[in-house]
Structure 1
Amino acid sequence: MPEVSIITPSYNTEKYIQETINSVLSQTLTDWEWIITDDKSSDKTTEIIEQHKDPRIILIKAEKNGGAGHARNLSLEKASGRFITFLDADDFWEPNFLEEMINFMKKEKAEIAYSNYARCNEDLIPQIEDFKADKVVTFNNLLKTCRLSLLSSMYDSARVGKEYFPEGSKREDHVMWLNLLKKIPEGKPLPKTMAKYRMHQSSVSRNKKNIIKDQYLVYKDHMNYSTIKSLYYTANWALNGFMKYSKLFN
């Protein structure tokens, strides 16, 4: 059983996947398994992955294109590590990410932890101030803004179990973290920058106007809140999302 399972969905990421692979192979902690589920890519993504013969890299090819949540769930089904963490196929970890996060979680007896991450353009050049891991995360404050980014967070599956993603939602990561935090009191921050997030111009997560409805459904459908309560949390999320990416507030 490896110490940590890394979960990655891939879809047409031939432009970036090699950098992501390099960042995992460079980790100072080597006791990991990396389960990549390719979501029916039509480019050379899988060919690039298959060039690496490292037995710790496990490639699953989805039978159909089911979206990132579906791909992550297929990887999670195979995961056997105590710690679970996520890395999209176009993002990047600093070499000490896994080691620092696991040592921190063991020292602090944390069930969930998250770190700072750099917010970069497509060439991994920082564009605005790093996103800061500066608050203890609870279910209640996560309702208003999703501070837990997949690429800089980790949870202890031995203590909280595996948590799968709701398929079909564009906000599946937020729902997953909320469901985890229903089980435990808090997630703890590690205020070190150990990851780089590519902010694509066309990124769904940056296009707030297009996903207001999806965010509303996080509360209405997945949390089973009333319409008024769902609108209240959606408004809070939208305001916090603006502050998260506005240079004026960072």
Structure 2
Amino acid sequence: MDPLVSMVMPVYNGEKFVVETINSILNQSYSNFEFIIVDDGSTDSTYALISSISDSRIKIIKNEENKGIAYSFNVGIANSKGKYIAHIGADDLAHNDRFKYQVDFLENNPMVGICGTQATFFGIKKGVSNMPLTHDEIASSIIFRSPMIHATIMGRSEIFRENQYFSTPTGEDWNLWYRLIPKTKFANLKQNLGSIRYHYESTTQKNLSKGLIVEREWRKKMLSDLGIKLKNNHETIFIECFSKCNFHRYYIFPFFSLTYIAIILIQGNFMKKIYPKRGFAITMMKRLGRCLIEWVRYIGGFFKKGLSHVDSV
């Protein structure tokens, strides 16, 4: 009998954390799975460590040279047998009931193709996720960020086989979700079933500068798909303020610019029909409100710092 779930995990020079990650998968309460580990040309002891673990569910694929995370995911998926494909980062952890919850959800919701969960962040960044739950919420928020935590994903194998990961400096998952939004339904479970480790040696941290460039170009692409081309000042406000709620250079709230951007985004989607109309409009209005809240926080902190400086003179 073929395994119902295929966990695919690329790893490159992950000797510090990979054994802990592997154990979090092998200790799943749901046992009908295979674990495909793709060693992406590691130069440390990663391959020796994963090879030393004796478990019949583990299948190791070794790239002779470093090919990148997208290539490694695609290779792992091509060699999988499961009805469902799951992902995890080689430095992250899975709750021991993760597979159980996700398989149950996907079996009972055949229209959903991709299922994620909530997660805890630990290491140099701490917190708990608040990812959107329904397809409309997920689709409508993708223009701002990746609305799924990649290390918690499980999806139907045919979707991943027909839609491969593209190689980019960062954000391979965001790119894939955007391409899949018109093709399948998404969902995030409300349960916290993963732990995402933030550390200075992670791929995300190493590629921060490249990631910002890719992120900027990716947002411009999404605007273009809506038939929108913003002028330079509005483009900057969209990327920095509307998308990231970053107001470090704005001492006066750019209300009219943000309102204009929200309106033309809604109008663009009304014409192009890329996102759910009602959900997208609601998301844009909520974003406008959040921008105002974040700006007030920034200005409050700015004046508080200024007053404390005056008091100390």
Q: TM-score, normalised by structure 2?
A: 0.67
User: Given the superposition, is the C-alpha separation of residues 85 and 162 from structure 1 closer, same or farther in structure 2, using an over 3 Å criterion?
Assistant: farther
Alignment of 1:54-65 (within 5 A): 54-65=55-66
- CA offsets per residue over residues 40-72 of structure 1, 9 Å max, x none? 111111111111232221111112212111111
Q: Is the 8 A contact 2:118 2:149 kept in 1?
A: no
Write the distance in 1 (CA, Å) between the matches of 2:69 and 2:99: 22
Q: Distance in 2 between matches of 1:92 and 1:150?
A: 12
Matched residue, 1:205: 204
The residue that corresponds to 1:24 in the other structure is 25
| Paired positions, count | 240
Q: Which amino acid aligns with 1:111?
A: G
Aligned equivalents of 1:11, 1:213: Cα separation in 2: 23
RMSD: 3.1
The answer to whether the 8 A contact 1:76-1:164 is kept is no
Deviation (angstroms), 1:169: 3.6
1:69-122 CA distance string (max 9 Å, x none): 111111111112111111111110011000111102222332221111000117
Residue 111 (structure 1) aligns with: 113
CA contact (8 A) 1:160 1:183 kept: no
Compared with structure 1, are the counterparts of its residues 221 and 143 closer, same or farther at alpha carbon in structure 2 (3 Å cutoff)?
closer
* Letter of the 2:195 counterpart: K
SS class of match (1:183): coil
**Structure 1 residue 213: deviation in Å?**
1.1
The equivalent residue for 1:87 is: 88
| 1:51 is the counterpart of 2:57 | no
Are the aligned partners of 1:76 and 1:162 in contact in 2 as well (CA < 8 Å)? no
Partner SS, residue 118 of structure 1: strand
The match for 1:131 is: 129
CA drift of 1:234 comes to: 4.2
Structure 2: distance between partners of 1:37 and 1:48? 13
Higher mean displacement: 147-156 or 195-204: 195-204
- Alignment match, 2:146: 146
1:1-250 matched pairs, under 5 angstroms? 1-109=2-110, 110-121=112-123, 128-137=126-135, 138-158=138-158, 161-184=161-184, 186-205=185-204, 210-219=210-219, 225=225, 228=229, 231=235, 234-235=239-240, 236-239=242-245
Q: 1 or 2 for the larger relative contact order (CA 8 Å, sep ≥6)?
A: 1
Whichever residue aligns with residue 154 of structure 1, its letter is M
Whether the 8 Å CA contact 1:105–1:113 is kept in 2: the answer is yes
Name the SS of the counterpart of 1:111 in structure 2.
strand
10-19 vs 140-149, which deviates more? 140-149
CA distance in 2, matches of 1:61, 1:220: 36
Normalized per residue, which structure has more helix?
A: 2
Kindly indicate whether the alpha-carbon contact (under 8 Å) linking 1:85 and 1:150 is maintained by their aligned counterparts in 2.
no
- The 3-state SS of whatever aligns with 2:77 is helix
Sort the Cα spacing of 1:189 and 1:49 in 2 relative to 1 into closer, same or farther, 3 A: same
Change (3 A) 1:220 1:63: farther
SS at match of 1:119: strand
Q: What do the CA deviations read for 1:144-201 (whole angstroms, capped 9, x no partner)? A: 21121111121122467543110134221111111222202x3122111111000113
- Whichever residue aligns with residue 113 of structure 2, its letter is E
1:147 and 1:190 map into 2 onto residues whose CA distance is: 12
Farther off after superposition, 129-138 or 94-103: 129-138
- Any idea what SS the aligned residue of 2:216 has? helix
How far, CA to CA, are the matches of 1:227 and 1:117 in structure 2?
Answer: 34
Please say which of residues 139-148 and 22-31 is displaced more in the overlay: 139-148
TM-score when scaled to structure 1? 0.83
- With 51-60 and 200-209 compared, the bigger mean Cα shift is at 200-209
